[in-house]
Amino acid sequence: MIKFLNLLSLYILPLIIVFILIYALAKKTPAYESFVDGAKDGFSIAIKIIPYLIAIMVCTALLRASGAIDIVQNLLKPVLDFLKIPVETTLIMLTRSLSGSATLGVLGDIINQTGVNSYATKLAAVIAGSSETTFYVASVYFGSVGIKKFKHALLAGILADIVGIFAAIFVCSWFFL
Amino acid sequence: MNYIFTFLILISIICAIINNRLDVAIDEMLKSATRAVQISFSLIGIMAFWLGIVKIAQNSGLMELFSKLVKKPLVFLMPDLKENPNALSNVALNISANALGLSNAATPFGIKAMDNMQEKNPNKNVATNSMCMFLAINTAGFQIVPAVVIAILSANGMSNPTQIILPTLIVTTIAFVSAIFFAKILEGRFE
Protein backbone atom coordinates (compact mmCIF):
# COMPACT_ATOMS: atom_id res chain seq x y z
CA MET A 1 0.00 0.00 0.00
CA ILE A 2 2.66 2.50 1.10
CA LYS A 3 4.80 1.47 -1.84
CA PHE A 4 1.94 2.18 -4.21
CA LEU A 5 1.26 5.55 -2.58
CA ASN A 6 4.90 6.55 -2.83
CA LEU A 7 4.81 5.60 -6.49
CA LEU A 8 1.73 7.77 -6.88
CA SER A 9 3.63 10.68 -5.30
CA LEU A 10 6.32 10.23 -7.92
CA TYR A 11 3.79 10.33 -10.78
CA ILE A 12 1.68 13.33 -9.73
CA LEU A 13 4.13 16.01 -10.87
CA PRO A 14 4.99 14.56 -14.31
CA LEU A 15 1.29 13.83 -14.94
CA ILE A 16 0.35 17.44 -14.21
CA ILE A 17 3.11 18.70 -16.50
CA VAL A 18 2.08 16.35 -19.32
CA PHE A 19 -1.57 17.33 -18.92
CA ILE A 20 -0.76 21.05 -19.01
CA LEU A 21 1.40 20.64 -22.13
CA ILE A 22 -1.15 18.53 -24.02
CA TYR A 23 -3.97 20.93 -23.17
CA ALA A 24 -1.83 23.84 -24.40
CA LEU A 25 -1.07 21.90 -27.59
CA ALA A 26 -4.79 21.29 -28.18
CA LYS A 27 -5.57 24.97 -27.61
CA LYS A 28 -2.60 26.05 -29.79
CA THR A 29 -1.06 28.05 -26.95
CA PRO A 30 2.61 28.98 -27.50
CA ALA A 31 4.01 26.73 -24.76
CA TYR A 32 7.64 27.76 -24.97
CA GLU A 33 6.99 31.53 -24.93
CA SER A 34 4.53 31.13 -22.05
CA PHE A 35 7.06 29.08 -20.11
CA VAL A 36 9.83 31.62 -20.52
CA ASP A 37 7.49 34.45 -19.62
CA GLY A 38 6.31 32.73 -16.44
CA ALA A 39 9.76 31.54 -15.38
CA LYS A 40 10.98 35.15 -15.14
CA ASP A 41 9.08 35.54 -11.86
CA GLY A 42 11.09 32.79 -10.17
CA PHE A 43 14.00 35.13 -9.61
CA SER A 44 12.02 37.94 -8.01
CA ILE A 45 10.17 35.57 -5.67
CA ALA A 46 13.41 34.02 -4.43
CA ILE A 47 14.97 37.46 -3.90
CA LYS A 48 11.90 38.81 -2.14
CA ILE A 49 12.02 36.24 0.67
CA ILE A 50 15.71 36.80 1.52
CA PRO A 51 15.21 39.44 4.26
CA TYR A 52 12.47 37.42 5.99
CA LEU A 53 14.51 34.26 5.76
CA ILE A 54 17.54 35.96 7.31
CA ALA A 55 15.50 37.41 10.19
CA ILE A 56 13.95 34.06 11.08
CA MET A 57 16.98 31.88 10.51
CA VAL A 58 19.18 34.14 12.63
CA CYS A 59 16.58 34.08 15.41
CA THR A 60 16.22 30.29 15.39
CA ALA A 61 19.98 29.71 15.12
CA LEU A 62 20.54 32.00 18.11
CA LEU A 63 17.78 30.35 20.13
CA ARG A 64 19.31 26.95 19.48
CA ALA A 65 23.00 27.81 19.90
CA SER A 66 22.38 29.75 23.11
CA GLY A 67 20.57 26.81 24.70
CA ALA A 68 17.35 28.81 25.14
CA ILE A 69 15.28 26.39 23.08
CA ASP A 70 16.53 23.36 25.06
CA ILE A 71 14.63 24.59 28.11
CA VAL A 72 11.31 24.71 26.23
CA GLN A 73 11.91 21.49 24.34
CA ASN A 74 12.85 19.54 27.47
CA LEU A 75 9.57 20.59 29.04
CA LEU A 76 7.61 19.37 26.03
CA LYS A 77 9.63 16.22 25.41
CA PRO A 78 7.43 13.64 27.22
CA VAL A 79 4.31 14.69 25.28
CA LEU A 80 6.18 14.86 21.98
CA ASP A 81 7.79 11.46 22.43
CA PHE A 82 4.40 9.97 23.12
CA LEU A 83 3.01 11.34 19.83
CA LYS A 84 6.23 10.48 17.96
CA ILE A 85 6.81 14.13 17.07
CA PRO A 86 10.49 15.10 16.61
CA VAL A 87 11.24 17.86 19.07
CA GLU A 88 12.80 20.02 16.32
CA THR A 89 9.45 20.43 14.55
CA THR A 90 7.66 22.22 17.39
CA LEU A 91 8.70 25.67 16.17
CA ILE A 92 7.32 25.18 12.65
CA MET A 93 3.90 24.29 14.06
CA LEU A 94 3.78 27.74 15.65
CA THR A 95 5.18 29.77 12.73
CA ARG A 96 2.97 28.23 10.02
CA SER A 97 -0.05 30.33 10.97
CA LEU A 98 2.00 33.52 11.37
CA SER A 99 4.31 33.85 8.38
CA GLY A 100 5.05 31.83 5.25
CA SER A 101 8.62 33.06 4.91
CA ALA A 102 9.29 32.35 8.58
CA THR A 103 8.02 28.82 8.07
CA LEU A 104 10.45 28.35 5.18
CA GLY A 105 13.24 29.70 7.38
CA VAL A 106 12.42 27.23 10.14
CA LEU A 107 12.29 24.43 7.55
CA GLY A 108 15.78 25.43 6.41
CA ASP A 109 16.96 25.34 10.00
CA ILE A 110 15.48 21.87 10.60
CA ILE A 111 17.20 20.52 7.45
CA ASN A 112 20.47 22.01 8.62
CA GLN A 113 20.06 20.53 12.07
CA THR A 114 18.69 17.03 11.38
CA GLY A 115 19.71 16.33 7.78
CA VAL A 116 17.56 16.45 4.65
CA ASN A 117 16.46 12.81 4.80
CA SER A 118 15.37 12.83 8.45
CA TYR A 119 11.81 12.23 9.61
CA ALA A 120 11.79 15.71 11.19
CA THR A 121 12.52 17.26 7.79
CA LYS A 122 9.75 15.31 6.08
CA LEU A 123 7.18 16.19 8.73
CA ALA A 124 8.23 19.85 8.64
CA ALA A 125 8.05 19.85 4.82
CA VAL A 126 4.51 18.48 4.84
CA ILE A 127 3.48 21.05 7.47
CA ALA A 128 5.04 23.88 5.47
CA GLY A 129 3.60 22.67 2.16
CA SER A 130 0.06 22.18 3.38
CA SER A 131 -0.53 25.54 5.01
CA GLU A 132 -1.20 29.15 4.24
CA THR A 133 -0.54 31.86 6.78
CA THR A 134 -3.88 32.54 8.44
CA PHE A 135 -3.03 35.91 10.00
CA TYR A 136 -1.37 37.29 6.88
CA VAL A 137 -4.25 36.36 4.59
CA ALA A 138 -6.77 37.80 7.03
CA SER A 139 -4.98 41.13 7.35
CA VAL A 140 -4.42 41.51 3.59
CA TYR A 141 -7.91 40.53 2.42
CA PHE A 142 -9.98 42.16 5.13
CA GLY A 143 -7.61 45.12 5.37
CA SER A 144 -7.92 45.84 1.64
CA VAL A 145 -11.66 46.55 1.92
CA GLY A 146 -11.70 48.03 5.43
CA ILE A 147 -13.46 45.22 7.30
CA LYS A 148 -12.86 45.68 11.02
CA LYS A 149 -14.97 42.92 12.55
CA PHE A 150 -13.64 39.54 11.39
CA LYS A 151 -16.42 37.55 13.12
CA HIS A 152 -15.65 33.82 12.99
CA ALA A 153 -13.15 33.96 10.10
CA LEU A 154 -9.97 33.84 12.19
CA LEU A 155 -11.27 31.21 14.58
CA ALA A 156 -12.31 28.93 11.70
CA GLY A 157 -8.89 29.41 10.10
CA ILE A 158 -6.99 28.64 13.28
CA LEU A 159 -9.10 25.57 14.11
CA ALA A 160 -8.43 24.30 10.58
CA ASP A 161 -4.70 24.94 11.12
CA ILE A 162 -4.76 22.84 14.29
CA VAL A 163 -6.58 20.01 12.52
CA GLY A 164 -3.98 20.32 9.74
CA ILE A 165 -1.08 19.91 12.17
CA PHE A 166 -2.57 16.75 13.69
CA ALA A 167 -3.37 15.43 10.22
CA ALA A 168 0.26 16.05 9.22
CA ILE A 169 1.53 14.16 12.28
CA PHE A 170 -0.65 11.13 11.58
CA VAL A 171 -0.23 11.05 7.80
CA CYS A 172 3.56 11.45 8.09
CA SER A 173 3.97 8.74 10.71
CA TRP A 174 2.00 6.47 8.40
CA PHE A 175 4.02 7.34 5.29
CA PHE A 176 7.53 7.81 6.62
CA LEU A 177 7.97 5.88 9.87
CA MET B 1 6.35 40.87 15.05
CA ASN B 2 8.69 43.70 16.13
CA TYR B 3 8.43 42.68 19.77
CA ILE B 4 8.76 38.97 19.04
CA PHE B 5 11.89 39.57 16.95
CA THR B 6 13.52 41.75 19.61
CA PHE B 7 12.50 39.43 22.44
CA LEU B 8 13.87 36.30 20.72
CA ILE B 9 17.25 37.84 20.01
CA LEU B 10 17.62 39.40 23.48
CA ILE B 11 16.60 36.23 25.29
CA SER B 12 19.03 34.17 23.18
CA ILE B 13 21.95 36.45 23.94
CA ILE B 14 21.16 36.44 27.67
CA CYS B 15 20.86 32.63 27.63
CA ALA B 16 24.12 32.34 25.73
CA ILE B 17 25.91 34.44 28.36
CA ILE B 18 24.43 32.36 31.22
CA ASN B 19 25.33 29.08 29.50
CA ASN B 20 28.77 30.40 28.60
CA ARG B 21 28.15 29.72 24.91
CA LEU B 22 28.38 33.25 23.58
CA ASP B 23 31.16 32.40 21.10
CA VAL B 24 29.17 29.50 19.61
CA ALA B 25 25.98 31.56 19.46
CA ILE B 26 27.59 34.52 17.66
CA ASP B 27 29.28 32.17 15.22
CA GLU B 28 25.93 30.47 14.49
CA MET B 29 24.22 33.84 14.10
CA LEU B 30 26.63 34.95 11.39
CA LYS B 31 26.61 31.60 9.61
CA SER B 32 22.84 31.33 9.54
CA ALA B 33 22.51 34.71 7.81
CA THR B 34 24.69 33.40 4.99
CA ARG B 35 22.73 30.17 4.90
CA ALA B 36 19.45 32.07 4.48
CA VAL B 37 20.80 33.71 1.33
CA GLN B 38 22.05 30.38 0.01
CA ILE B 39 18.61 28.83 0.50
CA SER B 40 16.89 31.69 -1.31
CA PHE B 41 19.24 31.49 -4.26
CA SER B 42 18.93 27.74 -4.48
CA LEU B 43 15.17 28.18 -4.89
CA ILE B 44 15.40 30.20 -8.08
CA GLY B 45 15.77 27.32 -10.52
CA ILE B 46 12.86 25.16 -9.43
CA MET B 47 10.59 28.14 -8.71
CA ALA B 48 11.25 29.51 -12.20
CA PHE B 49 10.61 26.12 -13.77
CA TRP B 50 7.32 25.62 -11.95
CA LEU B 51 6.09 29.18 -12.58
CA GLY B 52 6.91 28.65 -16.26
CA ILE B 53 4.87 25.44 -16.44
CA VAL B 54 1.97 27.06 -14.62
CA LYS B 55 2.07 30.06 -16.97
CA ILE B 56 1.36 27.64 -19.82
CA ALA B 57 -1.72 26.45 -17.91
CA GLN B 58 -2.78 30.06 -17.42
CA ASN B 59 -2.30 31.09 -21.06
CA SER B 60 -4.01 28.02 -22.48
CA GLY B 61 -7.15 28.73 -20.45
CA LEU B 62 -6.77 25.64 -18.28
CA MET B 63 -6.93 27.71 -15.13
CA GLU B 64 -10.20 29.32 -16.22
CA LEU B 65 -11.65 25.92 -17.05
CA PHE B 66 -10.70 24.76 -13.59
CA SER B 67 -12.28 27.82 -12.00
CA LYS B 68 -15.54 27.17 -13.91
CA LEU B 69 -15.63 23.67 -12.45
CA VAL B 70 -15.34 24.90 -8.87
CA LYS B 71 -18.07 27.55 -9.22
CA LYS B 72 -20.99 25.20 -8.51
CA PRO B 73 -19.69 23.87 -5.18
CA LEU B 74 -18.71 27.44 -4.26
CA VAL B 75 -22.28 28.72 -4.65
CA PHE B 76 -23.34 26.00 -2.24
CA LEU B 77 -20.81 27.25 0.33
CA MET B 78 -21.47 30.94 -0.24
CA PRO B 79 -25.15 31.23 -1.21
CA ASP B 80 -25.22 35.02 -1.52
CA LEU B 81 -22.66 34.90 -4.33
CA LYS B 82 -25.43 33.65 -6.62
CA GLU B 83 -26.46 37.30 -7.07
CA ASN B 84 -22.86 38.45 -7.35
CA PRO B 85 -21.31 36.76 -10.41
CA ASN B 86 -18.18 38.96 -10.42
CA ALA B 87 -17.33 38.01 -6.87
CA LEU B 88 -17.99 34.37 -7.65
CA SER B 89 -15.63 34.26 -10.61
CA ASN B 90 -12.89 36.11 -8.72
CA VAL B 91 -13.22 33.69 -5.80
CA ALA B 92 -13.00 30.77 -8.24
CA LEU B 93 -9.93 32.24 -9.97
CA ASN B 94 -8.29 32.90 -6.60
CA ILE B 95 -8.78 29.30 -5.50
CA SER B 96 -7.57 27.94 -8.85
CA ALA B 97 -4.42 30.08 -8.78
CA ASN B 98 -3.72 29.02 -5.20
CA ALA B 99 -4.22 25.36 -6.09
CA LEU B 100 -1.50 25.72 -8.73
CA GLY B 101 0.82 27.35 -6.20
CA LEU B 102 0.60 30.84 -7.73
CA SER B 103 0.06 32.79 -4.54
CA ASN B 104 1.31 35.99 -6.17
CA ALA B 105 -1.30 35.72 -8.92
CA ALA B 106 -3.97 34.61 -6.46
CA THR B 107 -3.81 37.64 -4.17
CA PRO B 108 -5.13 40.22 -6.70
CA PHE B 109 -8.10 37.93 -7.50
CA GLY B 110 -8.74 37.52 -3.78
CA ILE B 111 -8.69 41.26 -3.16
CA LYS B 112 -11.02 41.87 -6.12
CA ALA B 113 -13.37 39.19 -4.79
CA MET B 114 -13.42 40.91 -1.40
CA ASP B 115 -14.13 44.24 -3.15
CA ASN B 116 -17.07 42.74 -5.04
CA MET B 117 -18.48 41.21 -1.86
CA GLN B 118 -18.01 44.47 0.03
CA GLU B 119 -20.18 46.32 -2.55
CA LYS B 120 -23.18 44.19 -1.54
CA ASN B 121 -22.32 44.26 2.15
CA PRO B 122 -24.95 46.24 4.13
CA ASN B 123 -22.58 46.79 7.05
CA LYS B 124 -19.17 47.88 5.71
CA ASN B 125 -17.26 47.28 8.95
CA VAL B 126 -18.42 43.73 9.55
CA ALA B 127 -17.47 40.70 7.49
CA THR B 128 -20.30 38.76 5.82
CA ASN B 129 -20.61 35.00 6.20
CA SER B 130 -19.36 34.53 2.65
CA MET B 131 -16.31 36.67 3.36
CA CYS B 132 -15.53 34.54 6.40
CA MET B 133 -15.99 31.34 4.38
CA PHE B 134 -13.72 32.67 1.62
CA LEU B 135 -11.06 33.62 4.14
CA ALA B 136 -11.23 30.29 5.95
CA ILE B 137 -10.88 28.41 2.65
CA ASN B 138 -7.93 30.60 1.75
CA THR B 139 -6.10 30.11 5.02
CA ALA B 140 -6.32 26.34 4.59
CA GLY B 141 -3.98 26.88 1.63
CA PHE B 142 -5.17 24.19 -0.72
CA GLN B 143 -2.36 23.47 -3.14
CA ILE B 144 -1.77 20.62 -5.59
CA VAL B 145 2.03 20.83 -5.78
CA PRO B 146 3.98 22.51 -2.95
CA ALA B 147 6.66 23.81 -5.34
CA VAL B 148 8.62 25.99 -2.90
CA VAL B 149 8.98 23.24 -0.32
CA ILE B 150 10.06 20.73 -2.97
CA ALA B 151 12.59 23.29 -4.21
CA ILE B 152 14.09 23.65 -0.72
CA LEU B 153 14.30 19.89 -0.20
CA SER B 154 15.85 19.34 -3.60
CA ALA B 155 18.33 22.19 -3.16
CA ASN B 156 19.50 20.57 0.07
CA GLY B 157 20.11 17.29 -1.67
CA MET B 158 17.09 15.13 -0.85
CA SER B 159 17.16 12.22 -3.25
CA ASN B 160 13.43 12.01 -3.92
CA PRO B 161 11.74 15.26 -2.88
CA THR B 162 8.45 14.52 -4.67
CA GLN B 163 7.72 11.87 -2.03
CA ILE B 164 6.12 14.60 0.07
CA ILE B 165 3.53 15.47 -2.62
CA LEU B 166 0.89 12.88 -1.72
CA PRO B 167 1.11 13.24 2.08
CA THR B 168 0.96 17.02 1.67
CA LEU B 169 -2.06 16.71 -0.62
CA ILE B 170 -3.87 14.52 1.93
CA VAL B 171 -3.10 16.92 4.79
CA THR B 172 -4.05 20.06 2.85
CA THR B 173 -7.34 18.43 1.82
CA ILE B 174 -8.15 17.57 5.43
CA ALA B 175 -7.34 21.15 6.48
CA PHE B 176 -9.42 22.51 3.57
CA VAL B 177 -12.48 20.43 4.46
CA SER B 178 -12.21 21.26 8.15
CA ALA B 179 -11.90 24.99 7.34
CA ILE B 180 -15.21 24.77 5.45
CA PHE B 181 -16.74 22.76 8.29
CA PHE B 182 -15.65 25.22 10.99
CA ALA B 183 -16.67 28.26 8.96
CA LYS B 184 -20.16 26.75 8.50
CA ILE B 185 -20.79 25.68 12.10
CA LEU B 186 -19.46 28.95 13.53
CA GLU B 187 -21.72 31.01 11.26
CA GLY B 188 -24.03 33.28 13.21
CA ARG B 189 -22.33 32.71 16.56
CA PHE B 190 -20.33 35.93 16.49
CA GLU B 191 -23.01 38.48 15.63
Q: How far is B102 from chain A (nearest CA, A)?
A: 11
| CB proximity under 8 Å: A 110-149 to B | 111-112, 116-117, 121-122, 125-134, 137-138, 140-142, 144-149
| Rg, chain B, Cα only | 21
In the prediction, which pLDDT does A100 show?
Answer: 78
Comparing CB atoms, the residue among A50, A108, A134 nearest residue B152 is A108
Q: In one letter, which amino acid is A46?
A: A
**What is the nearest CA distance from B13 to chain A, expressed in angstroms?**
7
Could you tell me if B41 and A48 are in contact, meaning their C-beta atoms sit under 8 angstroms apart?
A: no
Contact B51, A107 (CB under 8 A): no
Distance separating alpha carbons of residues B51 and B149, to the nearest angstrom: 14
Domain extents for chain B? 44-185
Q: What are the CA-CA distances from residue A9 to residues A3, B21, B35, B145 (Å)?
A: 10, 43, 29, 10
pLDDT tens over chain A, length 177 residues: 777 877 888 888 889 899 999 999 999 999 999 999 999 988 887 888 788 788 888 888 888 888 887 787 788 888 888 888 998 898 898 888 877 777 888 898 899 889 999 999 999 999 999 887 787 788 888 888 888 888 888 899 999 999 999 999 999 999 998
Query: Tell me, what's the pLDDT at B173?
Result: 94
The confidence score (pLDDT) of residue A172 equals 95
The one-letter code for the residue type at A159 is L
Q: What is the pLDDT of residue B59?
A: 93
pLDDT in 10s for each residue of chain B, 191 residues: 678 789 889 989 998 998 888 898 899 889 989 988 888 888 888 888 988 998 999 899 998 888 888 898 999 999 989 889 889 999 999 998 888 877 777 888 898 999 999 998 999 899 999 999 999 988 887 888 888 899 889 988 898 898 999 999 999 999 999 999 999 999 888 76
Reduced DSSP (H G I as helix, E B as strand, rest coil) percent helix, strand, coil of chain B, to 5:
80, 0, 20
Q: Taking CA atoms, what residue in A is nearest to B134? A: A153
Prediction ipTM score: 0.85
Which residues on chain B are in Cβ contact (under 8 Å) with A34?
Answer: 52, 55-56, 58-60
Interface size, chain A vs chain B, as Cβ–Cβ contacts under 8 Å? 356
Instruction: Provide the b/e sequence for B39-77 (b: ≥16 CB within 10 Å).
Output: bbebbbbbbbbbbbbbbbbbbbebbeebbeebeeebeeb
The verdict on a CB contact (< 8 Å) between A152 and B187 is: yes
What pLDDT score does B103 carry?
A: 73
**pLDDT attached to residue B3:** 80
Tell if the CB–CB gap between B178 and A121 is shorter than 8 Å: no
> What is the amino acid identity at position A36?
V
Q: Can you give the pLDDT at residue B191?
A: 64
CA-nearest residue to B99 within chain A is A130
Amino acid in the structure at residue B95: I
